[in-house]
Chain A
Amino acid sequence: MIKVTVYITLKKDVLDPQGKAIHVALNNMGFDKINGVRQGKLIEIDLDAKDHDQAKEQVKKMSEQLLANPIIEDYSIELE
């Protein structure tokens, strides 16, 4: 079994009102050296695959077809 983590982030040009709200909240708490906050998603997948290459290929397909929306999001894959 291979554990794969998919990180999904909003594309640079897409407005992130949730990140902005977090930014403002952190400022209000006294963390005033923040230049920007972006919120994303982390998805953990346990899967059976013969090796890391096969696992990565599978998760790439999953990311492109469902986990991320290519219009607004980027993704990256990390294998354990």
Chain B
Amino acid sequence: MDVSLIIFPGANCDKDTSLAIKKITGKHPKHVWYKETTLPKSDLVILPGGFSHGDYLRSGAIAAKAPIVKDLVKKSADGIYVLGICNGFQILTECGLLQGSLIRNNSLKFVSRNVKLRVERNDTIFTSNFKEKEDVDMPIAHHDGNFYIDDANLEKIEQEGRVAFRYIENNSKYNPYNPNGSLNDIAGVYNKNFKILGLMPHPERAVDKITGGDHGAKIFESMFQSIS
């Protein structure tokens, strides 16, 4: 599996993501600086978390206009897999690869803590190692994670089963269980052919039991097993 990681100025989860990939696949992904214009040969491209371009204008808006993203949009039409984590998710909505938008958290606060998530389906390349409707813990750290989309498209996303992860109630362990006000408690969504996933939680920060859990590792394991 050839993995590329696009690095924008202001990214801060690129090293963790690279380590997570190394831990599971045995080799580091290719690091691609945002000023490049063409992606190297890749089965999977990851947009890591962070604060690209300082979150100026709107989170992910300026990164979405980088030439490398234009190439990503082109290549995703040819069928490569794309994963956007946190700021990467925001960039995917801004460049149009995913529907919806991530707006300011309803609390107005930057929220950094664990959340309980439900894996809505386990028949995609990103989730094949999870049990059906499995509940998992993952950390979040964002200011703009409030998933918004108009009613008609929200219904469509739900009908087509394109919600990947949902924040769920968990006996007040994490309160409020929906940390940002996302519509329908949505934490992650797929595109129409399930080859592109964007999520606000950070799976790369949950790949080791000694640093707060390993539920995120299953996403990387699923991708590795499904693609290679």
Which chain A residues have a beta carbon within 8 Å of chain B's beta carbons? 13-15, 17-18, 21, 65-67, 69, 71-72
Contacts and interface: CB of A to CB of B under 8 A. Distances in A.
Contacts of A17: 104-108, 181
Contact of A15 (B61, B99, B148): B148
A67 to B, nearest CB: 7
A38 B212 CA distance: 39
B78 interface: no
Contact of B103 (A21, A65, A72): A72
Contacts, number: 37
B138 to A, nearest CB: 24
Contact of B101 (A13, A18, A69): A69
A14 B148 contact: yes
Contacts of B105: 17
Contacts of B58: 69
A69 B102 CA distance: 11
Contacts of A66: 57, 61-62, 65
B204 interface: no
A15 B101 contact: no
Nearest to B100: A71
12 contacts: A14-B103, A15-B106, A15-B146, A15-B148, A15-B181, A17-B181, A18-B104, A66-B65, A69-B94, A71-B93, A71-B150, A72-B148
B149 interface: yes
A12 B199 CA distance: 26
Nearest to B58: A69
B61 A71 contact: no
B57 A67 contact: yes
A72 B104 contact: no
B61 A69 contact: yes
A62 to B, nearest CB: 11
Contacts of A13: 150
A72 B94 CA distance: 11
